[in-house]
Amino acid sequence: MAITLIDLPYPKDALEPHISARTLDFHHGKHHNAYVVNTNNLIKGTELEDLDLETIIRKSAIDPAKAGLFNNAAQVWNHAFYWRCMKPGGGGAPTGAVAKKIDADFGSYAAFVEAFKNAGATQFGSGWAWLILDNGKLKVVKTGNADTPLAHNQKALLTVDVWEHAYYLDYQNRRPDYLTTFIDKLINWDFVNSCL
Protein backbone atom coordinates (compact mmCIF):
# COMPACT_ATOMS: atom_id res chain seq x y z
CA MET A 1 0.00 0.00 0.00
CA ALA A 2 1.65 3.22 -1.13
CA ILE A 3 1.89 5.96 1.47
CA THR A 4 0.47 9.21 0.09
CA LEU A 5 0.86 12.90 0.85
CA ILE A 6 -2.45 14.10 2.23
CA ASP A 7 -3.86 17.38 0.97
CA LEU A 8 -3.89 20.25 3.41
CA PRO A 9 -7.38 20.61 4.90
CA TYR A 10 -7.41 24.32 3.90
CA PRO A 11 -5.88 26.50 1.17
CA LYS A 12 -2.18 27.32 1.65
CA ASP A 13 -2.95 30.95 2.48
CA ALA A 14 -5.81 30.16 4.90
CA LEU A 15 -3.69 30.39 8.06
CA GLU A 16 -2.22 33.80 7.22
CA PRO A 17 -1.03 36.01 8.82
CA HIS A 18 -0.15 33.43 11.50
CA ILE A 19 1.47 30.86 9.19
CA SER A 20 2.30 32.03 5.70
CA ALA A 21 1.51 30.30 2.44
CA ARG A 22 5.29 30.30 1.84
CA THR A 23 5.86 28.31 5.03
CA LEU A 24 3.15 25.80 4.11
CA ASP A 25 4.53 25.52 0.59
CA PHE A 26 7.92 24.46 1.98
CA HIS A 27 6.65 22.57 5.02
CA HIS A 28 3.92 20.54 3.32
CA GLY A 29 5.13 20.51 -0.27
CA LYS A 30 8.80 19.80 0.42
CA HIS A 31 9.42 18.50 3.98
CA HIS A 32 6.26 16.40 4.42
CA ASN A 33 6.43 15.21 0.82
CA ALA A 34 10.07 14.13 1.27
CA TYR A 35 9.08 11.93 4.24
CA VAL A 36 6.38 10.32 2.07
CA VAL A 37 8.82 9.65 -0.80
CA ASN A 38 11.47 8.29 1.58
CA THR A 39 8.99 6.02 3.37
CA ASN A 40 7.77 4.54 0.09
CA ASN A 41 11.36 3.96 -1.05
CA LEU A 42 12.27 2.27 2.25
CA ILE A 43 9.28 -0.13 2.27
CA LYS A 44 9.44 -1.02 -1.42
CA GLY A 45 10.04 -4.74 -1.86
CA THR A 46 9.89 -5.48 1.89
CA GLU A 47 7.36 -7.27 4.09
CA LEU A 48 6.09 -3.81 5.14
CA GLU A 49 5.17 -2.71 1.62
CA ASP A 50 1.46 -3.60 1.89
CA LEU A 51 0.91 -2.42 5.47
CA ASP A 52 -0.83 0.76 6.59
CA LEU A 53 1.22 3.68 7.94
CA GLU A 54 0.40 3.15 11.63
CA THR A 55 1.44 -0.51 11.47
CA ILE A 56 4.69 0.44 9.70
CA ILE A 57 5.42 2.95 12.49
CA ARG A 58 4.71 0.45 15.28
CA LYS A 59 6.82 -2.29 13.66
CA SER A 60 9.77 -0.02 12.83
CA ALA A 61 9.71 1.64 16.30
CA ILE A 62 10.76 -1.61 17.97
CA ASP A 63 13.47 -2.55 15.46
CA PRO A 64 16.70 -0.51 15.75
CA ALA A 65 17.68 -1.68 12.28
CA LYS A 66 14.66 0.19 10.91
CA ALA A 67 15.42 3.57 12.56
CA GLY A 68 15.56 5.37 9.21
CA LEU A 69 12.18 3.98 8.22
CA PHE A 70 10.70 4.88 11.60
CA ASN A 71 11.95 8.46 11.34
CA ASN A 72 10.39 8.97 7.92
CA ALA A 73 7.13 7.10 8.51
CA ALA A 74 6.54 8.75 11.88
CA GLN A 75 7.13 12.15 10.32
CA VAL A 76 4.52 11.37 7.65
CA TRP A 77 2.01 10.57 10.41
CA ASN A 78 3.01 13.46 12.70
CA HIS A 79 2.65 16.01 9.92
CA ALA A 80 -0.69 14.64 8.67
CA PHE A 81 -1.93 14.93 12.27
CA TYR A 82 -0.46 18.43 12.74
CA TRP A 83 -2.23 19.89 9.68
CA ARG A 84 -5.59 18.82 11.13
CA CYS A 85 -4.76 20.39 14.52
CA MET A 86 -5.06 23.84 12.92
CA LYS A 87 -7.80 25.77 11.21
CA PRO A 88 -8.46 29.32 10.06
CA GLY A 89 -10.06 31.27 12.90
CA GLY A 90 -9.07 28.62 15.42
CA GLY A 91 -7.41 28.89 18.79
CA GLY A 92 -8.54 30.21 22.12
CA ALA A 93 -10.27 28.26 24.83
CA PRO A 94 -11.68 24.86 23.90
CA THR A 95 -15.32 23.81 24.01
CA GLY A 96 -17.01 20.46 24.35
CA ALA A 97 -15.71 17.35 26.05
CA VAL A 98 -12.05 18.33 25.80
CA ALA A 99 -12.72 21.59 27.70
CA LYS A 100 -14.17 19.64 30.64
CA LYS A 101 -11.35 17.09 30.51
CA ILE A 102 -8.68 19.83 30.47
CA ASP A 103 -10.26 21.45 33.54
CA ALA A 104 -10.45 18.07 35.29
CA ASP A 105 -6.91 16.91 34.48
CA PHE A 106 -4.95 20.20 34.49
CA GLY A 107 -7.07 22.25 36.88
CA SER A 108 -7.71 24.99 34.31
CA TYR A 109 -7.25 25.94 30.67
CA ALA A 110 -4.52 28.40 31.76
CA ALA A 111 -2.58 25.56 33.40
CA PHE A 112 -2.84 23.49 30.21
CA VAL A 113 -1.61 26.45 28.12
CA GLU A 114 1.37 26.93 30.41
CA ALA A 115 2.28 23.23 30.25
CA PHE A 116 1.84 23.04 26.45
CA LYS A 117 3.88 26.20 25.78
CA ASN A 118 6.59 25.01 28.15
CA ALA A 119 6.81 21.61 26.41
CA GLY A 120 7.16 23.27 23.01
CA ALA A 121 9.62 25.92 24.16
CA THR A 122 11.88 23.55 26.08
CA GLN A 123 12.06 20.78 23.48
CA PHE A 124 15.76 21.08 22.69
CA GLY A 125 16.39 20.99 18.99
CA SER A 126 13.71 19.50 16.78
CA GLY A 127 10.53 17.77 17.88
CA TRP A 128 6.92 18.07 18.90
CA ALA A 129 4.72 19.07 21.85
CA TRP A 130 1.60 16.95 22.34
CA LEU A 131 -1.63 16.75 24.29
CA ILE A 132 -2.20 13.03 24.75
CA LEU A 133 -4.64 10.70 26.46
CA ASP A 134 -2.71 8.16 28.52
CA ASN A 135 -4.59 5.65 30.70
CA GLY A 136 -7.67 7.88 30.67
CA LYS A 137 -5.82 11.04 31.72
CA LEU A 138 -4.77 14.03 29.65
CA LYS A 139 -1.05 14.79 29.69
CA VAL A 140 1.28 17.18 27.90
CA VAL A 141 4.44 15.51 26.58
CA LYS A 142 7.21 16.40 24.19
CA THR A 143 9.00 14.14 21.75
CA GLY A 144 12.33 14.64 20.02
CA ASN A 145 12.84 14.48 16.28
CA ALA A 146 10.30 12.07 14.71
CA ASP A 147 9.16 10.34 17.89
CA THR A 148 5.41 10.08 18.23
CA PRO A 149 2.89 9.03 20.90
CA LEU A 150 1.73 6.33 18.48
CA ALA A 151 4.98 4.45 19.14
CA HIS A 152 4.26 4.48 22.90
CA ASN A 153 0.62 3.31 22.79
CA GLN A 154 -0.61 6.79 23.71
CA LYS A 155 -3.51 8.54 22.01
CA ALA A 156 -2.57 11.85 20.38
CA LEU A 157 -5.16 14.62 20.63
CA LEU A 158 -3.18 17.73 19.63
CA THR A 159 0.32 18.54 18.44
CA VAL A 160 2.47 21.49 17.52
CA ASP A 161 5.53 21.03 15.34
CA VAL A 162 8.61 22.73 16.82
CA TRP A 163 11.08 21.76 14.10
CA GLU A 164 12.50 25.03 12.79
CA HIS A 165 11.03 24.48 9.32
CA ALA A 166 7.55 24.81 10.89
CA TYR A 167 8.04 28.41 11.96
CA TYR A 168 11.40 29.90 10.94
CA LEU A 169 10.26 31.74 7.79
CA ASP A 170 7.53 33.51 9.79
CA TYR A 171 8.99 33.77 13.30
CA GLN A 172 12.77 33.28 12.87
CA ASN A 173 14.16 32.28 16.29
CA ARG A 174 11.03 33.33 18.23
CA ARG A 175 9.64 29.86 18.96
CA PRO A 176 7.67 31.09 22.02
CA ASP A 177 5.82 33.63 19.80
CA TYR A 178 4.94 30.87 17.33
CA LEU A 179 3.63 28.71 20.20
CA THR A 180 1.50 31.56 21.58
CA THR A 181 0.05 32.22 18.13
CA PHE A 182 -0.63 28.51 17.58
CA ILE A 183 -2.58 28.33 20.86
CA ASP A 184 -4.40 31.66 20.55
CA LYS A 185 -5.19 31.68 16.81
CA LEU A 186 -4.85 28.24 15.20
CA ILE A 187 -5.87 25.22 17.32
CA ASN A 188 -8.73 23.26 15.77
CA TRP A 189 -10.58 22.21 18.93
CA ASP A 190 -13.24 20.46 16.83
CA PHE A 191 -10.53 18.07 15.60
CA VAL A 192 -9.16 17.62 19.13
CA ASN A 193 -12.67 16.75 20.36
CA SER A 194 -13.08 14.25 17.51
CA CYS A 195 -9.86 12.51 18.64
CA LEU A 196 -10.99 12.39 22.26
Q: 3-state SS of 108-138?
A: CHHHHHHHHHHHHHHCCCCEEEEEEEECCEE
Mean pLDDT of the chain: 96
What's the confidence (pLDDT) of residue 2?
Answer: 87
Report the pLDDT value the prediction gives residue 93, as an integer from 0 to 100.
96
Could you tell me where in the chain the CATH 1.10.287.990 domains are found?
21-84
Which whole-number Å values give the CA distances from 4 to 8, 32, 86, in the listed order?
Answer: 12, 10, 20
What is the spatial distance between Cα 15 and Cα 17, in angstroms, rounded to a whole number?
6
**In terms of Cα–Cα distance, which of 50, 93, 67 is closest to 185?**
93
Is there a contact between 168 and 22 (Cβ–Cβ < 8 Å)? no
Over the stretch 97-111, which tens digit does the pLDDT of each residue have? 999 999 999 999 999
Which of helix, strand or coil describes residue 142?
strand
CATH (residue range 96-195): 3.55.40.20
Comma-separated ranges of CATH 3.55.40.20 domains in the chain:
96-195
Q: What whole-number distance in Å separates Cα of residue 196 and Cα of residue 188?
A: 13
Closest to 39 in 3D by CA, of 21, 54, 20: 54
The domain defined by 21-84 folds into: Helix Hairpins (1.10.287)
Mean pLDDT of the 176-186 span: 97
Residue 19 CB partners (closer than 8 Å, separation 6+): 86, 167, 170, 186
For the entire predicted model, the pTM comes to: 0.95
Q: Which strands form 155-161's sheet, in the order they lie side by side? A: 137-144, 127-134, 155-161
pLDDT exceeds 80 at position 123: yes
Contacts of 162 (CB under 8 A, 6+ apart): 120, 123, 126, 127, 128, 129, 175, 179
Q: Using the 8-state DSSP alphabet, how is residue 81 labeled?
A: H
SS3 for 144? strand
